Amino acid sequence: MSIIQFKEANCKNCYKCIRSCPVNAIAFKNDQAEIIHDECIMCGRCLSVCPQNAKSVNSDIDKVRKFIGKKEKVYVSLAPSFISAFDHDERWLYCALKKLGFTHIEGTANGAYQVSRQYERLLHKKEMKNIITSCCPSIIFLIEKYYPQLMNQLAPVVSPMIAHAKMMRETYGSRIRVVFIGPCISKKDECNDLQNENQIDAVLTFEDLDNWFEEEGFYQSDEVQEEISNFDNIARIYPVPGGILKTIGRNYKKNYKTISVDGIERCKEILDSMVDGDISNYFIEMSSCTGGCIAGPCIKNIKGGFLTSRERLLEYAKRAALNSGSSSVKSIMSATKLDFSKRFVDKSKKIEMPSEDVIQGILNSIGKFSRDKELNCGACGYHSCREKALAVYLGKAQVHMCLPYMRERAESISNIIINNTPNAIFALDKNLNIQEANTTAQKMFNKSNQYFEGRNIVEILTCDKFEQVLESGENIYDEKYTYDDYSMVVKQSIINVSKHNTVIVIINDITEEEAQRQRTLESRSQNIDITQKVIEKQMRVAQEIASLLGETTAETKVALTKLKNSIMSEIGDMK
């Protein structure tokens, strides 16, 4: 199961996460986005851009609470970027974590120090064509899954998190629980790597910790009761771009050109050049997050944004010199017998590419029969129509995700319906000016759409009902109205769509039906006159032969009277 989860109820078909994913590791199936874990590099970009907050990260808080509840020794490795995530210094945070029940807290910078020493050895040996830092798990995932041919240029060194965990287990005992707290989602996946030998028992993000502090009400107090012991004293600069380079001795850098690169897009650009063989003899510090770890996906934004975060981190790094004489820290920093090496695994997926005919067939299904129809707008989340067609072939995307196609299709269907309806339809603005008239309206009133556009409806149709609906907000449906100028009788609906500042007028020409009704009415009136005359004649005859007919006359009168009343009732209904 992926660490990042989507909430089905909130996904609104916006495709924003797909557009933002640098490796297209998000599939869209049954109108719902889902993470493709085998392709995900855990950069957290989808979390940051989701407008519906439809994604969540699995939390280890309950897991950590159980450790503490069982009275186990739970040690914290705290990423130095915490100073950019909380409005408190390390002393306050240290004490707050102790209140939660943690046994001991140290800065991950202790592990970063040892990682830098390993980098110095690699620089000194000068055996690698290029050296890419291995601190950022998302960069490791990116190379293992998408650039496996460059794994031999990745520094074969564990991350500061793993290095620090090994150091703490060496110092405090192998049976302790180690919890890493930082700004990364990718650390949650890194800790599950079998190579790490279960060095990390749980990972909390700064957001997790913030929620925990809120729940416990810690922010209501600035009280600091305990003194920090054995926290860290160097390598706090790691989280900012170029921070790793600053922790490496100048003499070691002379063998390679050094550069710091942050942001997935720029990293991919560099990696592409390395694949092409255009880059050599570089030591490259890579971070997936633009702005480094202080801009991680699970870091709480503080007032002042990135500049303030960077300022706080730099000031925090400067204070490290005050603790440089701590002997206990030095004892941990000298844990040089530990194995900090790492191997990388090719996790790339072998994709069987479809033929050109298959791709073109997918493109044809959405009306893209030629290159000029391939707009490559990127609205679906893919850089080009062909890339999206490939995603459809791989089952990662749906054909209807093409917004221009769906819009054309919707407009085409609506136009077919509107222009083939027997009713005249006018779309008016809030001032009753005609915005559009359908084909039936043009034929009905013998005017072109160009003639209608911009004219006020009352210039065309003399009727006070339009203003009435606009003022009252009460719509009129199927009201009979006569337009003498056009010798026309109509059933007319006037609908005020106030939400869109639009008035819709629907006119059904019933002139012929009305004329037929009048003819029928006249015919039936004539029948009544004839019937009345028959009754009167029958009565006269009846009077003469009353003695002979008896009750038969009365029955005839009743029958004829019923016929007359029935016809008159029908005429009444027609009026």
Q: Is the pLDDT of residue 331 over 50?
A: no
Across 189-200, b (16+ Cβ under 10 Å) vs e yields bbbebeebeebb
Cα dihedral 560→563→569→573 (10° resolution): -150
Domain extent listing, the chain: 1-58, 59-333, 353-420, 423-509, 521-574
* pLDDT at residue 499 in the model: 80
Task: Among 39-43, 322-326, 481-485, name the one with the lowest average pLDDT.
Answer: 322-326
* pLDDT at residue 327 in the model: 42
For residues 198 and 221, the answer to whether their CB atoms sit within 8 Å is no
CA angle in degrees (0–180, nearest 5) for 131-132-133: 115
| CA-based radius of gyration for the chain | 40
Could you check whether 1-58 and 423-509 share the same CATH topology?
no
Q: Is the pLDDT of residue 88 over 80?
A: yes
Res. 1 pLDDT band, cuts 50 70 90: low
Q: How far apart are CA 548 and CA 538, in angstroms?
A: 14
pTM above 0.75?
no
Listed in sequence order, the residues at least 6 apart from 430 whose beta carbon sits closer than 8 Å to its beta carbon are 470, 501, 502, 503
Q: Amino acid letter at 312?
A: R
By C-alpha distance, which of 569, 562, 437 is closest to 505?
437
Across 240-266, b (16+ Cβ under 10 Å) vs e yields bbebbbebbeeebeeebebebbbbbee
What's the chain's average pLDDT?
A: 85
What pLDDT, in 10s, does the model give residues 373-417? 788 887 787 888 888 888 888 888 888 787 777 777 766 666 777
* pLDDT at residue 490 in the model: 92
Which residues on neighbouring strands pair with residue 504, listed in sequence order?
427, 495
Task: Among 50-59, 161-170, 178-187, name the one with the lowest average pLDDT.
Answer: 50-59
Q: How far apart are CA 69 and CA 436, in angstroms?
A: 71
Domain 423-509 -> CATH class: alpha beta
Give the Cβ contact number of residue 89 at 10 Å: 16
For residues 190 and 164, the answer to whether their CB atoms sit within 8 Å is no
Top-confidence residue, 228 or 341: 341
CATH 1.20.120.140 fits 1-58, yes or no: no
Backbone conformation region of residue 257, classed left if phi is above 0, alpha if psi is from -120 to 50, else beta = beta
Give the Cβ contact number of residue 354 at 10 Å: 16
DSSP-derived secondary structure letter, 354: P
Q: How far apart are CA 191 and CA 64, in angstroms?
A: 14
Place of tokens 């769509």: 497
The stretch 311-328 carries a mean pLDDT of 69
What pLDDT, in 10s, does the model give residues 468-511? 998 888 999 999 999 988 889 999 999 998 887 889 999 999 98
Q: Two tokens at 390?
A: 């490939």
SS3 425: strand
